[in-house]
Structure 1
Amino acid sequence: MAKSKSEETPLMQQHKAIKAKYPDAVLLFRVGDFYETFNEDAVIASRVLGIVLTKRANGSAAFIDLAGFPHHSLDTYLHKLVKAGHRVAICDQLEDPKTVKGIVKRGVTEMVTPGVAVNDKLLENSNNNFLAAVHFGADATGAAFLDISTGEYFVAQGSLEYIDKLLQSFRPAEVIFAKQQQKHFRQTFGSRFYTYTLEEWIFTNTYAREILHKHFETHSLKGFGVEDMTEAVIAAGATMHYLKDTEHPNLQHISNMQRIDQDDFLWMDRFTIRNLELLQSTVEQGKTLLGTLDHTLTPMGARLLKRWIVFPLRDIVQINERLDAVEDLIREADRSISIQQHLKSVGDLERVVSKIPLKKINPREVMQLARALQQVCEIQRLLNDTANPLLRHLQEQLDPCDSILQRILAEVSDNPPVLANKGGVIREGVSKELDDLRAIASSGKEYLLRIQQQESEATGIPSLKVAFNNVFGYYLEVTNTHKNKVPANWIRKQTLANAERYITPELKEYEEKITGAEEKILALEMQLYDALLATLQDFIQPVQRNAQALARLDCLLCFAHNAVQFKYRRPQVTEAYHIDIKDGRHPVIEQGLPPGESYVANDILLHQDEQQVIILTGPNMSGKSALLRQTALITLMAHMGSFVPAAAAEIGLTDKIFTRVGASDNLSGGESTFMVEMNETASIINNITPRSLIILDEIGRGTSTYDGISIAWSIVEYLHDMTPHRPKTLFATHYHELNELENTHNRVKNFHITNKEVGNKIIFLRKLAQGGSRHSFGIHVAKIAGMPPQLINRANEILSQLESQHIEAPMQQIAAPTHKVQLSIFDAHSDTFQSIRDKLTSVDINRLTPVEALLKLSEIKDLLQ
C-alpha cells in the first residue's frame, strides 16, 4: 500500500522533494553531524562504501533503508562513490539548527560527477580531469574539453575520425551529448567513456552562444577564433550548461577558450597513440613513452607534457624555438639547476588558484600560493639575462603579483590550519579588535587558573580543580574527602560517585567573557579571511598565466634533463621529405635494459625518391617491432621539440604518423582480428599524404597465408605505384616472399635484422642489414619459451617435410605489378598439379590450334583422374 504524504515524517518529505530534482544521483542528505542516504541510495552506499545498511521508521507508514557516515568523512566516501561511477548530490543544511524551529532548510550545494570533480582525492596530480561534450552536426562534429579543476578549455570541430582521436588524446573523465544522439555516439565511439545525456534543446546554436557570451562577457566569440565553428560552439555551450546544472556557479577561473586546429599538429589516430604506447602500455606494468620522458617537477608541467606528446607540433619555427630553448637550458646548466630547485617548491599552482572562485581554497593552500609566488619571483630573476627568445617570452609572462603576495604573508600565519573555522589563521597585528579578543581569551584562561589556586588556598582543598564541559561550562570539582570544606556560597551542580561539582558567580562571569571572546574571534577571523579571498579573485588570471608559463618551462627543463641524462641529440627538422636517423635507439626499451647491457643502435633512411618502402624481415624476437616503433618515436619526439635518442637525426617535416601494429580482436564490436586489422589499414590508405610516415607490422596475419601474402603484396604495390604521395613506409613481415618486390619496384628495399647460429642456438644480433631474410626461427622461439621437447621435435619434423615438398608458393610467378596480382590455384597442391603446371607453361598459346588445345585439355583431365 502506497504511503500518503501525510504519513511521512517532515524530514522524509523534504528529502523526497529534493531527491525528485536529482533522480539519477546518490543524494547525501545532511542530518546533524551525519550524511544520510535513504531507500535505493542507501543500498548503493552500503554496497560501494561498505557501511551498514539499517532501517528506520518513516512516520506511521513503513520502514525505509538507511545508511550514513559522519560529515567529516565526506572526502573519503565521496571519492569512493564517484570512482565507482556514481553521480553524487551533496545536500547540506542551509540554516543553523540552533536558530530554527522545526525542519531545517536544506538544499544541494554541489553535484559531483566524474567530469566535474574538484576534490583533491578525486584528482590525480599528473592528469587532467576533462569534461567533454560532443555534438554531431550535418557536415562536421564538434567537441569541447573543459577541466574545471584547472580552468583549461579547448574546442575543436572536424571529422568523426578527428574527434575520435581527440577523445583518445584528452581521455575525458566524462562525455556528455544529446539524448537523441545516444545511438550514434555508441556506434561511433563505442563504450570507452563514462557518459551522460542532456536534453536536445541544450545543444542549439542560439542557446550555446547565449550562455558563452554571458560567461565570457563578450558580444561575439571572434576573439577566441571560433565564431564560425558552429558545432564546436554548441559543444562548448553544453559544457557550460552542465557546470551550472551541477551547482557550479562560480567559474571566474574559466577565462579563455582555445581552439584546436588539426593542421597545427602532427596527426596520429587513436590506433597510433595506442600502438606506440604513448600514454598507456598494452601490457600490465609496461612502461610508456610518457613514463620514460616525464621528469617534470610540477603537476601542471606533467599535465602539459602529456599534451605535447599527443599533439606534436607541425610548424618548423615553433619546433626550433623549443629545440633552441632546450639547447640553451643544457648550455646554462647551473642556471637550469637553480630554476629546477625553485620549481620543486611551486606545487600545483594551477589547481590551487582554481579553488579561489570555487570557494574551496583553505588557509594552508593560500600560504602555498604565496610560496609559489615567491618562487615565481626567483625564477623570473634567474631568467633576466637570457638571450633565448622563448625563455625570454616565458620570463616576461611571469608576474610575482607582489601586492597580494605581501598581503598574504602579512595576514596569514606561518602554519595555518587546514580549516578556516578552527581559528589561528590570521596573524597578530592585522586587526586590533582581534588581538584584544585574543588577549581576553588568553588572560581569561590564565585567570581561571588563578581562581583555582586562590580557592584551593582559601578552602584548604589541595585537590580542587577547575574544569569544563558542554553541559555546565566551567566548574569547580571537589572530591568527597574534602566536600565538608566547601563554602556556603558555592552552588552544587552535579554529584558524582567520588566527587561533587560546583559553580560560583565569579566563575560564570569569566566563562561568559571567555566563551563570547572565542566565538567573536572565530567570526572575525572568518571575516578577515573572506576579505582576503575576495581580493585574491582579482589575481586569478595573472596567477594562471604564471602556472602556464611555469608548466612550459618545466617541460623544456625536462627535455634538457633527458638529453643530458640519456645522451639524446638535437634533431634537424627540415622541409625535406626524408627521414635519416643515425644510431637510433628506442627511448623506452633502452631504459628498461638490465644494468650493463646497452641498446643496439641502428641507422634508418627513408627517402621518397630512393628508399621509400623498407621491407623488414628477420627472426621472431629479433627486434623488428622495436626498430619500427623507435623510428616513429624519434620522429614524434623531434616534432615535440625534444632531443632524440640517436647520434644524429634529420627529420623531414611529417604531418601524419600511421601505425598498424599487432593483432587484437574487437569482441565487443563483433570484429575479428582480421577485420580490425583491415579497418586500421584502410584508415591509413585513405588518409596518406606526401609527408606521412607509415609503420606496418605483420599485415595480413589475421587471415590465411595466401590471402595474407596477397594483401600485404598489394599494399606495398599501392603505396609504391598507385598513389602519387609516396609516403615513407616501414613494413615488417614474416612473409619472406615480399622480398621479391625489390626486384620489380625501384624504391622498395629489403632489410633484415641479423642473427647468428651457434650450434643449436640462435643469437639475435639486433643489427639492421641490407637484404631479405628467409628464416623466422619460430620453433626456436617456442623452445626458449618453454615448450615441451617432444612438441619441438615434432614441429621440426613437420617443417622439414613441408620444406621438402615446396609448400611455400613461388612468388616469382606473380604477374608484373601492372596486372592484377593473382596467386596460382595450383600453388598449394601436390606433384600432380606441378605436372599440370609444367604442361601449361610449355604451351605456346599463339601457335596452338583448337584441336591441339582440346588434346591438351584431355591430357590434363587424365592426370587429374
Structure 2
Amino acid sequence: MTDLTPMKRQFRKIKEENPDSLLFFRLGDFYEMFEEDAITASKILNLTLTTRDRNKPPEEQTPMCGVPYHAARAYIGQLLERGYKVAICDQLDQKPRKNSPLMRREVVRILSPGTVTDGEFLDARSSNYIGSVYLADGAGAAAFCDVSTGEFCAAAFSGEHSEEHIINELGRFSPREIVVSEGAAESRRLGQFMDMRLRCLKVADDGRFELDPCEQKVKAQFGVENAEEPFGGSVPAVLAGGALLTYISETQKCDMANIRSVDLFEGGKYMELDYATQRNLELTKCLSSGERRGSLLSVLDMTKSPMGARTLRAWVERPLLSVVAIKRRLAAVTELRQNSVMRGELRRCLANLGDMQRLMSRVVNKTAGGRDLLTLCECGSELPRIVKLLTDCSSPLLREIFEMDSLEDVTWYIERAVCDKPPVSIREGGILREGYSEEVDRLRKIRDNGAQMVAELEARERERTGIKKLKVGYNKVFGYYIDIPNSAKAGELPPEYIRRQTTSTAERYYTAELKELETEIASASERICELEYDYFCELRDRVAEQVDRVQEAADHVGVLDALCSLAEVSLRQNYCCPEVDLSGEIHIADGRHPVVEYVQSDSLFVPNDTHMNTGDDRVAIITGPNMAGKSTYMRQTALICIMAQIGSYVPAKSATLGIVDRVFTRIGASDDLAGGQSTFMVEMTEVAEILRNATRHSLIILDEVGRGTSTYDGVAIARAVLEYCADPKTLGAKTLFSTHYHELTVLEDSMPGVRNYYITAKKKGEGLIFLRRVVRGSAEDSYGIEVAQLAGVPQRVVKRARTCLDELVKNGGSAPAPVRMSARAADYDGQLSLGDTASDEVLARLKTASVETMSPIEAMNLLYELKRKLEG
C-alpha cells in the first residue's frame, strides 16, 4: 500500500474492517464506492463506472462510482432490498486536522436487511426480523429480533427433531438475515430451507457463538445476573440470543436500550405451526401470488396503526393455547363490538398515531430527527383521549389498557422544545421552538436583525459623544468601525475608542462592544446550529430515558388496535363468538371459509357443519368430485380453530371448540426440484412430519394422500395413514381426510371413530352442478370426466374418455379382464375399441390408471400417450 495516496490508504483500511459490506465512503457531497464495491453497486444501481486513474494502464486503474449525499437513502434502499449490507463511512471533521491531509472518517453505521430501522426502508404493517440459529449435538435454538421495534423472541429445542422445529420458527418469522452457527451451517436441510424458501442473507459464525461472550452480552443487555434466566435455563438459547445481540451491536454501533426483554416461546404458550401449514392455510400470504391479499390476515386486518397491524399479524402466526388467555381477548372483542360509539372514537384516535415503536427505536439509536420527535409528541397527545374513552370498560384486558401511561410529561417537553415544522437535518438549525433557549433566541435576533442592531449602536454612540456625523461603517478588511469625520471631531473621545485607521477625511475607531457585535453577527448562524444541535441531542437523550414507558404504551396501543380490528370484522362479516374449552371436541354450525367468503362477497357461500371429538367422530373421510369444495371445507375448519385461538370471532352460526395443540395440513401438489425432491417425495415428507409430531389433541388436514404414485401404492399408503391417525393406540387425532380412493370408505365399518362424508353434486345432462353441502355417506362417483369438460378439455377427448371409462367399468374397473385394441389404421375412425387387439403394454398401463384421481390434464396426457402407442 506504499504507492497509494493517503485517501486510498484510508479507504483500504476501513474496507478491510468491513469486508462483507458495500462501503459508502464520504467525499465532500458524495458517497463514493471503489474497486469491487463500485463494480457491484454500479450494476445494481445503474451507475456509471469511472476512474480517477485515466493516465494509468487499464489494469492499474481503480474503478469507482458515487451517489449524491443528499440522495443516498434511495440507493441504499435498493441495495438492502437486494440483500446487501451497506457500511456508512462519514466525514467526522469539517476540515483536515493539523499535520494531516485527510478528514477523519469512520463507519458510523452498518445497514443490513435485518437491522435497518429507518421507516422508509420498512413495511409499516410487518415486522422486520433478523434471526440467529444455533444447532449442535442434538440441541438447537433460534432467536429473532426486530431491531426497529425492540421485539426479541427466542425458542429452544432438544432431540432428533430440533432441525424441524427451527425450520418452523424460521418459516413463522421469515427473517431477512440470519446469523448461523457452525453446526447450523453444516445442516443440509436448514441450508436448503434458508436458501430456497427464505432467500435471506446469511451471516457466518465468526466466533459469535462462544459461551462466555454470549453470556456477558445477555447479562448486560437484559440486566440479569444469570444469562440463562431470560431464556428459561437453556444454554443453546443463550448462545443464539447472545450471538444475535452481538451482531446487532456490531451493525448499530450504539446502545440498544429498546431491546428490553425476551419473549420466550415455551411449550404450552403458543401453538406451533409448521411451515407447510403456514403456507397451505395461507395465514399471512396467498399461496399463488405471495401477496398479503387473499390471506386470512387480509380479512382480519382492519387496524388503524402500524403497532396494531404488527400485533394482529403476530397473533395470527402464534395462536394461543391457554383457554384463560383466549377468553380474555374474546371478552375484550365482545365489549368493543357491543359499544360501537366507543369503538368508532377509538379507531379515529388510533388512526392519528404514528409508529411509536419504531420512532422510539430511532430515538434510542440516536438517528431520530426533529420530525420524529414531533410525530412521537403527536402520538402522545392522543393517548389521554384513548385512556378517557376506556374509562367505563369492564373486561380485564381493556381495563389493563386503561391503566397505561399516557406519557403527558414526555409530550410536554417535546412540544415545548421542537417547532411545528422542523427541518430534516438536525444540524441545520431551525429545530427549536422560540422561547426554549434564551441564548438561541438572542443569537437568532442578531442573525435576523444585525443591521438594526448596528444602527442602534450607532445612535447610542452619537448621543454619548455628541458627534452627530458619527457613523458605523463596514469593509472586508477591517470589518465594522466607527467613522468620525475630521470636521466633526471636537474634544476627547471616550477612552474605550481604539483607533483603527486614519484617512484624509476621517478617523476610524472600534470598541470592544462593536467588536463583540461584529463577531456575534458573523458567527451567529454557525453558533445557532451548534447550540440547537446540542439542545436537541440533550432532548433526544432525555426522551430515550423513557424508552420503557413509551414502548409499554405502544404495546398497549397495538393490542387495543388489534382488538378493535377483530371487533369491527366480526360485525361486518357476521361472525359469532366461539365457546373455547378443553373438551377436545369441535362443533361448528354453518361454518364458512373466511377468505373465500370475503373474496366472493357478491355470491352466496354455502355453509357446512363440522362435528368432531376424540370418540366416535375422530376421523372424517371426505369424498366427492374435484372442485366440489373438499379442500375449502377442510381448510375452513382449520382456520376457524385458529381464529378462535387468537381470540377472534369465527365465521359460523355457532361454534364450540376444544383447544387444539397443533394444526397440521397436507394439501396440494408441489415439488422441490432444487432440493431434489419429487411431488410424491414432498408429500410423503410432509406426511411423515405430521405423524411424527401430532398428538391426540391435534387437528390434521390430509388432502388426497397417495395420489402422487400408482393407484395400488396410493390406496395402500392412504389406508395405512388413515388407520394410524384413527387408532388411539398410535395417534387418535381429529383428522379430516379427503380422497378419491373410494375403497377407503369401508373403514367406517371396521374402525371405531371413522365416519364417511361427501360433498354433494348433481349431474345435469353431461354437465355437473356443485351443491357444496357436506353430508353423511360416501360419494358414488368422482365425476372426473365432467370436471374435465368444465375445465375446457377438447370435446373429442372428453367423449373418448367416456368410452374408455365405460369399457373399464364393464371389465371390472381397476382390474379388467385381458382385452385387446385394434392397431389397424383401416379400423380407426376416430374411436378406438377396447375389444379389438392391442398391445399388452397399453393394457397394463390402463390397469394401473386411476380415472377417479386424475386431474383433467393428467387424463388428457394419458389418452395422448395411449394413442401414440397404438398408432405406433
Alignment partner of 1:267: what SS?
Answer: coil
How far is the alpha carbon of 1:318 from its aligned partner? 0.7
Alignment of 1:149-548 (within 5 A): 149-158=148-157, 159-179=162-182, 181-184=184-187, 186-187=189-190, 190=193, 191=195, 192-193=197-198, 194-199=200-205, 201-221=207-227, 224=230, 226=231, 228-284=233-289, 287-396=294-403, 398-444=404-450, 514-548=521-555
CA contact (8 A) 1:612 1:727 kept: yes
Structure 2: distance between partners of 1:209 and 1:280: 37
**Equivalent position of 2:5 in the other structure:** 9
Alignment of 1:659-674 (within 5 A): 659-674=665-680
How far is the alpha carbon of 1:747 from its aligned partner? 2.0
How far is the alpha carbon of 1:99 from its aligned partner? 5.8
CA contact (8 A) 1:327 1:560 kept: yes
CA contact (8 A) 2:23 2:37 kept: yes
Q: Residue 692 of structure 1 is aligned with which of 698, 701, 716?
A: 698
CA contact (8 A) 1:9 1:59 kept: no
Alignment partner of 1:560: what SS?
Answer: helix
Q: Residue 622 of structure 2 is aligned with which of 613, 616, 638?
A: 616
Q: Residue 604 of structure 1 is aligned with which of 595, 610, 615?
A: 610
CA contact (8 A) 1:383 1:392 kept: yes
Alignment partner of 1:57: what SS?
Answer: coil
1:749-799: CA deviation from partner (whole Å, max 9, x where unpaired): 111111122222211111111111122222222222222222222222222
Q: Residue 728 of structure 1 is aligned with which of 725, 729, 734?
A: 734
How far is the alpha carbon of 1:262 from its aligned partner? 3.0
CA pair 787-829 structure 1, distance change in 2 beyond 3 A: closer
**Equivalent position of 2:66 in the other structure:** 68
Match of 1:70, as an amino acid? P
How far is the alpha carbon of 1:247 from its aligned partner? 4.4
Structure 1: distance between partners of 2:190 and 2:117: 31
Match of 2:186, as an amino acid? K
**Equivalent position of 2:712 in the other structure:** 706
How far is the alpha carbon of 1:446 from its aligned partner? 7.3
Match of 1:523, as an amino acid? E
Structure 1: distance between partners of 2:190 and 2:359: 39
| Backbone CA RMSD of aligned residues | 2.8
1:667-726: CA deviation from partner (whole Å, max 9, x where unpaired): 111111111111111111122222111111010011011111111112112222363542
How far is the alpha carbon of 1:417 from its aligned partner? 2.0
Structure 1: distance between partners of 2:189 and 2:713: 32
How far is the alpha carbon of 1:145 from its aligned partner? 0.6
Structure 2: distance between partners of 1:405 and 1:671: 58
Q: Residue 573 of structure 1 is aligned with which of 571, 580, 589?
A: 580
**Equivalent position of 1:675 in the other structure:** 681
Alignment partner of 1:30: what SS?
Answer: strand
Alignment partner of 2:793: what SS?
Answer: coil
Alignment partner of 1:588: what SS?
Answer: helix
**Equivalent position of 1:584 in the other structure:** 591
CA contact (8 A) 1:445 1:514 kept: no
**Equivalent position of 2:28 in the other structure:** 32
Structure 1: distance between partners of 2:4 and 2:258: 44
Bigger CA drift: 770-779 or 571-580? 770-779
Q: Residue 85 of structure 2 is aligned with which of 87, 107, 132?
A: 87
CA pair 793-509 structure 1, distance change in 2 beyond 3 A: farther
1:368-410: CA deviation from partner (whole Å, max 9, x where unpaired): 11111111111111112211111111221x2122222111111
Structure 1: distance between partners of 2:83 and 2:201: 10
Give runs of ≥4 in structure 1 deviating > 6 Å: 58-61, 445-450, 507-512
1:520-548: CA deviation from partner (whole Å, max 9, x where unpaired): 22222112211211211221110000011
CA pair 525-700 structure 1, distance change in 2 beyond 3 A: same
How far is the alpha carbon of 1:558 from its aligned partner? 0.9
CA contact (8 A) 1:12 1:58 kept: no
CA pair 37-65 structure 1, distance change in 2 beyond 3 A: same
Bigger CA drift: 205-214 or 538-547? 205-214
CA pair 260-729 structure 1, distance change in 2 beyond 3 A: same
Match of 2:61, as an amino acid? F
Alignment partner of 1:126: what SS?
Answer: coil
Structure 2: distance between partners of 1:508 and 1:82: 53
CA pair 391-223 structure 1, distance change in 2 beyond 3 A: farther
**Equivalent position of 1:848 in the other structure:** none
Structure 1: distance between partners of 2:189 and 2:712: 35
**Equivalent position of 1:786 in the other structure:** 792
1:192-240: CA deviation from partner (whole Å, max 9, x where unpaired): 342434346321222211111122333124652x252000000001011
Structure 2: distance between partners of 1:58 and 1:393: 69
Match of 1:541, as an amino acid? D
How far is the alpha carbon of 1:449 from its aligned partner? 13
Alignment partner of 2:52: what SS?
Answer: strand
Match of 2:684, as an amino acid? M
1:468-489: CA deviation from partner (whole Å, max 9, x where unpaired): xx9xx99xxxxxxxxxxxxxx9
Match of 2:173, as an amino acid? F
**Equivalent position of 1:45 in the other structure:** 41
How far is the alpha carbon of 1:594 from its aligned partner? 5.0
CA contact (8 A) 2:133 2:184 kept: no
Alignment partner of 2:207: what SS?
Answer: helix
How far is the alpha carbon of 1:60 from its aligned partner? 6.8
CA contact (8 A) 2:135 2:183 kept: no
**Equivalent position of 1:137 in the other structure:** 136
CA contact (8 A) 1:401 1:539 kept: no
5+ unaligned residues in a row in structure 1: which ranges? Answer: 451-469, 475-488, 490-504, 811-825, 834-865
1:317-362: CA deviation from partner (whole Å, max 9, x where unpaired): 1111111111111112211111111111111111001111211111
CA pair 208-185 structure 1, distance change in 2 beyond 3 A: farther
How far is the alpha carbon of 1:623 from its aligned partner? 0.7
Bigger CA drift: 8-17 or 796-805? 796-805
CA contact (8 A) 1:8 1:59 kept: no
TM-score by length of 1: 0.84
CA pair 792-535 structure 1, distance change in 2 beyond 3 A: same
How far is the alpha carbon of 1:121 from its aligned partner? 2.5
CA pair 181-164 structure 1, distance change in 2 beyond 3 A: closer
Structure 1: distance between partners of 2:424 and 2:2: 44
CA contact (8 A) 1:35 1:68 kept: yes
How far is the alpha carbon of 1:443 from its aligned partner? 2.0
Structure 2: distance between partners of 1:180 and 1:233: 16
**Equivalent position of 1:502 in the other structure:** none
**Equivalent position of 1:838 in the other structure:** none
Structure 2: distance between partners of 1:186 and 1:268: 18
Match of 2:170, as an amino acid? L
1:74-109: CA deviation from partner (whole Å, max 9, x where unpaired): 110111111112121111112112666511111111
How far is the alpha carbon of 1:735 from its aligned partner? 1.2
CA contact (8 A) 2:586 2:611 kept: yes
**Equivalent position of 2:753 in the other structure:** 747
